[in-house]
Every structure is written in C-alpha cells, then in structure tokens.
Amino acid sequence: MSIQNNIDRITDILRRDDGISGAMHYTEQISWILFLKFLNDYEDNKADEAFLEGTDYNYVLRKDLRWHQWACPKDENGKLDVKRANSGDDLIEYVNNTLFPYLKAFKSTTNDPKTLTYKIGAIFEYLDNRIASGHTLREVLDIIDALDFQSSDELFELSQVYENLLKSMGSDGGNSGEFYTPRAIIKAMVETTDIKVGDTIYDGAVGSGGFLVEAFDFLTAGDKKEKLSAKDWETIQNDTFFGQEKTSLGYVMGMMNMILHGIESPNVYKGNTLTQNIRDYQEKDRHDVILANPPFGGKEKKQIQQNFPVESNATEILFMQHFMKMLKLEGRAAIVVPEGVLFQTNNAFTKVKQTLLENFNVHTIVSLPSGVFLPYSGVKTNIIYFDRKGATSDIWYYDVTPPYKLTKNKPIAYEHIKEFVHLFHNPKKRNATNAKTGNECNDWTVNVTDIKDFDLSAKNPHKVVEVIHQSPKELLTAIKQNDTEINTLLNQIEQLIDG
C-alpha cells in the first residue's frame, strides 16, 4: 500500500475521533506522530553510522521514551508485542502525562536552533495530543510504524504526501489558509531569484515553510546534489535557511515540512516578526535572498507600529518595511503583496513606496489573477521584486492571464507562469509578443519618471477595453430595469424593518 493510501486511512480514522475537528486538527496530530517516527529512524541511522566508525552515538531521547519502547514495542519475531504495547486509556494517559511533558521540557535546555534538542522542544512546546481515544491512537501508531524513514525513496514520497496534507488544510478555509501559498507561485519566485550555495534565504512569515523547502529543492535538485562538496552541504543544512512564524500551528507545520523535505537544521524561530524594532538591524543581521508571502489585511496595535519609521496598522506595510531593512547589500527579494500596496496613495503607503523606489531597484512586478488564494482569500495580489543595488529606473511588468477563471477546483498552475519565468531570464525577448503574433501582449516596461503619485499598480497598455455600443432605447431600457430592481430591494428592506 502506498504512503498516500496509508495517510488517507489515518485521516479517516482520526475524523471519527471525538478530539479531532477538521483538517487542521488531523494534520497537526499526524504531524507529531510522524515526527517521532522520523526522529526514531534518524537516531537509529546515526547510531548505525557511529557503530561502523567504532564510536558510540548519544541518543537525544531517553531509552524508555523512544518509539520502539512506547509506541510500537516488538517481540522476538519483530511483531507488535501486545503485552507491552499500551492501548485505550493507558496509552492516552502515558502520552499526555509522561511523553509530552518530557518532550516539551527540551526547549529549556538549549537556545541553539541547530541542535536536535532545540528542534524537539520547539515543536512540542506548542503541541498537545488531541486524540481522545487510545484505541484510535493505537491504530494510527501501527500504520505509521510501517513507514521507513531510512529509505530515501519513501522519505521523498512522504514529503509529497505531507505537502498534500498542508494543501488540504489550507483548502479547509479559515485561518489555516494563511499557511499555504500555491506551489506554482513559490516555484516561479524561487526560479527567478538567482539562489546560490552560500546565500542566506529568509522568510519572515514562514507558514508551512513552502519558500524555504522549494529553495532547498532548487539548490539540491538532480545533478546539483552530486556536485555539492561536503562543505557546501553543511552550509545548506546549517547556515542557509532563516525565518520566523507567529502562529503555533504554522510553526509546527513549517518545521515538520522542512525536516521531512530534508532540511535538518532550519534556523526558524517562533515569534511575531513585527515586534522587532527595524532600526536595530545591522548588515550582519541581513540576508541575501528574501522570499515571502506575509499576512495581509491584519491590523497591528500602536506599540508594534512604533518599531517602524512609517507607522501604520496595516500588516502589509509593516512587513514591507521589515523586508527592506532585512535585505543585504546586493541582496534580492520577491514578495507577494496585495493590490492595495501598489495603488494606495495615502500617507503611509506613499512614504514606504517612495523609500522603496529611491533606495532599492524595483525591477519587476507580476500581476497575479484574482482567485490565486481561493478559497480563503479573494484578494487580488502581485509579486514585487526588488534588489539592493541602487535606485529604481525601469519596472518590467508581467500580467499572468490563465485561460480560465481560477476557482478552488481550478487553481493556478505552473503552466500559467512559465512564460514569465522564461522572459525573466531572457530580457531581450520581452515586450515582443504583440509585435510578432498580433496577440495581446502580457508584458510591458514603465520608466520610474512616468509613475504618478507612487502608484505602482499594473496597467497593461496593450489590453483593449471592450466597449459595448447600445442604442439610446437599449440604454433607457437598462436604466429602467436597474431602477425596478433597486425599488424591489428597497421595498424588501422596508418590510424587514416594519416586520
């Protein structure tokens, strides 16, 4: 049976449990169990390597709290030892009162995020067992016990399955949607930021870790992995990926996602990025590459606004200032922003955009279609690219236009953005589509001197606005019809008030 089928079985089992409500809960619960099985196989593998080298491996977990002792103890034939394997109330009591308190305490023993001890404590600090039935938990443990994290093929398949879990958690709606950015968008952004080994890559709103995972895959894909030296590999694992995540669930999901994809030591912390005073940042704190889709539409209180030169309660404007301050000299950034950031001209938005254009090179803006973040947000978004290599002169715009209206069941695909990635890497081919084919052109360039009131929104000069010509009689009929509908609605409202 495939890993996907096994995970599907587990989600069906968990849905029947009284403690689980929705995709967010069962993804969270599958996560901590998967992590402990992963940890067991990881430590066993390290112990085997140490044995071959004639040394001893010091296990991080205490012997009686390792997977083979409490989750799935085996008899001499390698089968589940039913006498030693807890179930029912005994299993729940053990997990809640012995296992979790032990794992949560790890955080207090070290502040170094590179250590396994820190990662265990950081993950379990924000987790609790929600599974109410010990019999349900026993079923889940037995299924996960059969997974082999020492097999690279199985680990790769599991990372894909976990990605699907995160996606379904986002599709479930509600706040969980903020943790998941469509893979097509992430892939395009990573492929257009010129990431190299030795760069530090930062996301100040990590969510489920999609940007860092895709960047890791980009650096280690195919032949690239074979060419990496031992030092390169150590750099990628320990000194490349950085970030913060405000929410507990997002943090746990992000850490799990990165670990399952092969990033063993992400420098990712739980915390609200916006609580840091950006005036305190120095060059040593900054990063080469910033990739992010920060939360937008939120509001921050005055105390947090004071951390920024331009005060605003809009999270998107605070995050823009944060990212601008976090970019190294010669660094480059690609950030998803709501449409409002580009077109709004109130005081705070104007000041931030003025600083951005004068102190950074805003070289590319991608207009994304409505519906990219459905079902949890219908807000129109853009990707803004800038680097710290001088002021802005020309901005290249690209308008992503899928052949159909995006919906929850017909999401954005990489095919829709592939032309943008190609043109990004081949500047000589830009702005040429219209001339060659006669078709509507999806890209154009604007000189910064032509931008009025710091309005950076995408206005495709090639788009023909269709004008519907109606006779005076048809116009009058349409106006009368609108008046009738308005009067009907007003009567309904009046009846509701009187009723």
**246 and 393 part of one domain:** yes
The verdict on 183 and 114 lying in the same domain is no
Can you tell me whether residue 30 is helix, strand or coil? helix
Q: What is the pLDDT of residues 117-147, one digit of tens each?
A: 888 888 898 889 999 999 999 999 999 998 8
pLDDT, tens digit (0-9, with 9 covering 90-100), for 28-37: 899 899 889 9
217-232 pLDDT tens trace: 999 988 888 899 999 9
Residue 44 shares a structural domain with residue 110: yes
Average pLDDT along the chain: 87
Q: How many CA atoms lie within 13 A of 155 on its CB side?
A: 18
Do 122 and 19 lie in a common domain? yes
- Residue showing tokens 């079902």: 375
| pLDDT, tens digit, 9 for 90 and up, residues 375-434 | 666 788 999 999 999 999 999 999 999 999 988 889 899 999 999 999 999 999 988 754
Interatomic CA distance for residues 384 and 124, integer angstroms: 35
Using pLDDT thresholds of 50, 70 and 90, give the confidence band for residue 485: confident
For tokens 């509507």, the residue is 440
Kindly tell me if the per-residue pLDDT of 436 is higher than 80: no
Query: What is the rounded average pLDDT of the residues 104-125?
Result: 83
**Arithmetic mean of pLDDT, 466-481:** 67
* Whether residue 433 is found in the same domain as residue 485: no
Q: Compute the distance between CA of residue 387 and CA of residue 242 in angstroms, rounded to an integer.
A: 18
Q: Is residue 63 part of a domain?
A: yes
Query: Is 394 contained in some domain?
Result: yes
Residue linked to tokens 């308005």: 486
Compute the distance between CA of residue 185 and CA of residue 383 in angstroms, rounded to an integer: 9
Residue 165 lies in a domain: no
| 213 and 128 within one domain | no
What is the arithmetic mean of pLDDT over 41-65?
92
Exposed e or buried b per residue across 253-290, where buried means at least 16 C-beta atoms within 10 angstroms of its C-beta? bbbbbbbbbbbebbbbebeebbebebeeeeeeebbbbb
Residue 478 lies in a domain: yes
Q: Which of 23, 71, 281, 52 is nearest to 168 (CA)?
A: 23
Non-local (6+) Cβ contacts of 338 within 8 A are 296, 297, 316, 379, 380, 381, 382
**Rounded Cα distance, 313 and 348, in Å:** 10
Please, what sign has the CA dihedral across residues 298, 302, 306, 309?
Answer: positive
pLDDT in tens, 235-293: 999 999 999 998 887 888 888 888 888 888 889 988 899 999 999 999 999 999 999 99
Query: In angstroms, rounded to a whole number, what is the distance separating the alpha carbons of residues 274 and 321?
Result: 10
Is the same domain home to 307 and 395? yes
The terminus-to-terminus CA distance of the chain in angstroms comes to 61
Q: What is the DSSP string of 303-339?
A: HHHTTSSS--SBHHHHHHHHHHHTEEEEEEEEEEEEH
- Mean pLDDT: which of 264-273, 448-457, 468-477 is highest? 448-457
The length of the chain in residues reads 499
Residue 174, pLDDT above cutoff 70:
no
Helix/strand/coil for 296: coil
Q: Which residues pair with 270 in a beta bridge?
A: 245
- Answer yes or no: do 307 and 420 share one domain: yes
Give 386's strand partners: 333, 362
Task: Give the number of domains in the chain.
Answer: 3
Instruction: Give the Cα separation of 219 and 222 in Å (integer).
Output: 9
pLDDT tops 60 at residue 172: no
Same structural domain for residues 90 and 214? no
Judged against a pLDDT cut of 90, whether residue 345 lies above it is answered with no
Element (DSSP H or E) covering residue 399:
strand 394-399
- Judged by average pLDDT, the poorest of 149-153, 414-418, 469-473 is 469-473
CATH number at residue 19: 1.20.1260.30
For residues 15-21, average pLDDT: 89
Q: Do both 490 and 379 map to the same domain?
A: no
DSSP secondary-structure letter at 402?
A: -
Please give the DSSP secondary-structure letter assigned to residue 295.
-
Output the pTM of the full model: 0.83
pLDDT for residue 176 is more than 50? no
Whether 327 is in a domain gets the answer yes
Give the structural domain span for 491: 468-498
Given this model, what pLDDT does residue 97 score? 96
| % of the chain at pLDDT higher than 70 | 92
**Domain final residue pick, 133, 151, 169:** 151
